[in-house]
Amino acid sequence: MKQSELFTKTLREAPKDEESKNASLLIRGGFIYKVMAGAYAFLPLGLRVFRKLEEIIREEMTSIGAEEILMTSLQPKANWETTGRWLDFDALFKIKSQISEIDYALAPTHEEELTPIAKKHIVSYRDLPKAVFQIQNKFRDEKRAKAGLLRGREFFMKDLYSFHADAADLDRYYDKVSKTYMKIWKRVGLGKITYFTWASGGTFSKYSHEFQTLSESGEDTIYVCEKCRVAVNEEIIAEQRECPICGGREFSKKKSIEVGNIFKLGVKFSKPFELRYKDKSGREIEVQMGCYGIGLNRVMGTIADTSNDEKGLIWPEEVAPYKFHLLEFKKGSAAKIYKRMLEDGLEVLYDDRDVSPGEKLADADLIGIPYRLIVSEKTGKKIELKKRTDKKTTLVNYEYLRKI
């Protein structure tokens, strides 16, 4: 992509109407636009990051046998009355048709829509287990939406749901999902700072689990067990004061962001919707369900929040908008290399703009692409290569770029 043709421009100054570090950096880099509090649009660079996150998550979900679906945002009130959550779900957006005066929910989560769908397809023990997921926009009427991409009133979530004949089969799948989530954090560059965290389970199971990423901007607090490196959240520490894994009592207290949450629902939804299957003897049994969420906006905000320096963003390679940022200081001097990189299938943003070298260098640091390349009179036939995370530069041949 030629930067002269990019839809967006960078901003030198932090936007005045944005309190959060993550959105402030992302707005300055031209990744997102703040539509209003809690609602951000993805611009070309931001959408590229989003799509990469999406693809990693999709790949990992597919690897554990989940099939992709896409449900609606508009949902009937009746489904929410069936579970009692029309009144109990605090953040539910409710809208009324101006024509028919019928009430609808704008979906904050999809158990109320999916359980009746599953009822059409899960009839016998032969139909189990099953798992489906979607990557879809959610709506939540959040009280405070001041944390940029970390807490939106509209945001994207990957939500996975699983259906099982019994609790043991649910347990087995739940463990598999939990391992897969740890893989996802690693792949998106959050592996070292994200903790498997014990949280309270609500009405149907003793525990649920959260995935918490260490960050000073986080709204959550976790207690990391010094012995086994898993964490517990505030509710759990208040209740039992010891690590559920090793019984340890030494914890370090940290601020964190909840990037994912997994839950054993048991029969919480299959009961009100009468989702049952027939076992071998023809007996009708309620289906056991699990649900597993990851907030994509929140993950992107968390990466921006935890991976930056005073100059701007530092994208982990797997989710960077482009792998290379090619800068030229004389009009057209990098055009040949750009063309060759495109032919070789290398992902490159080419700064061909008519602006000063200083501006190009500052923008490259702000946008945070992993490898900066400079072609100038000084570099001759070689290319100057600098990693966004390094201070030093090296001179390389073109061939070297293909091996990175």
DSSP conformation class of 269: T
Of all residues in the shown chain, the one whose CB is closest to ligand ATP is: 295
- Report the partner that residue 140 touches, choosing among ligand ATP, Mg ion, none (CB closer than 5 to 8 A by kind): ligand ATP
Query: Which of residues 148, 290, 293, 312 is near ligand ATP by CB under 6 A?
Result: 293
DSSP-based three-state secondary structure for 289: strand
Shortest spacing between CB 213 and ligand ATP, in angstroms: 10
Task: Residue 160: name the closest of 205, 197, 114, 207 by CA.
Answer: 114
Least Å from the CB of residue 108 to Mg ion: 12
**Residues 139-168 as x/- pattern, contact with ligand ATP by CB under 6 A:** -x-x--------xx--x-x-----------
Q: Is the peptide bond before 76 cis (omega within 30 degrees of 0)?
A: no
Provide the residue type at 48 as one letter: R
Q: How far is the CB of 91 from ligand ATP (least distance, A)?
A: 8
Q: In the set 21, 209, 264, 298, which binds ligand ATP (CB under 6 A)?
A: 298
Q: How far is the CB of 197 from ligand ATP (least distance, A)?
A: 11
Cα–Cα dist 331/340, whole Å: 17
Residues 217 and 207: their CA atoms lie apart, in Å, by 26
Binding site for Mg ion (CB under 5 A): 261
Residue from 222, 259, 320, 349 binding ligand ATP (CB under 6 A)? 259
Burial class (CB in 10 A: 0-12, 13-18, 19+), 238: exposed
Spatial separation of the C-alpha atoms in residues 128 and 397, rounded to whole Å: 56
The CB-of-220 to ligand ATP minimum distance in angstroms stands at 7
236 binds ligand ATP (CB under 6 A): no
Radius of gyration of the chain (CA): 24
Which residues form the interface with ligand ATP (CB under 6 A)? 109, 140, 142, 151-152, 155, 157, 258-261, 293-295, 297-298
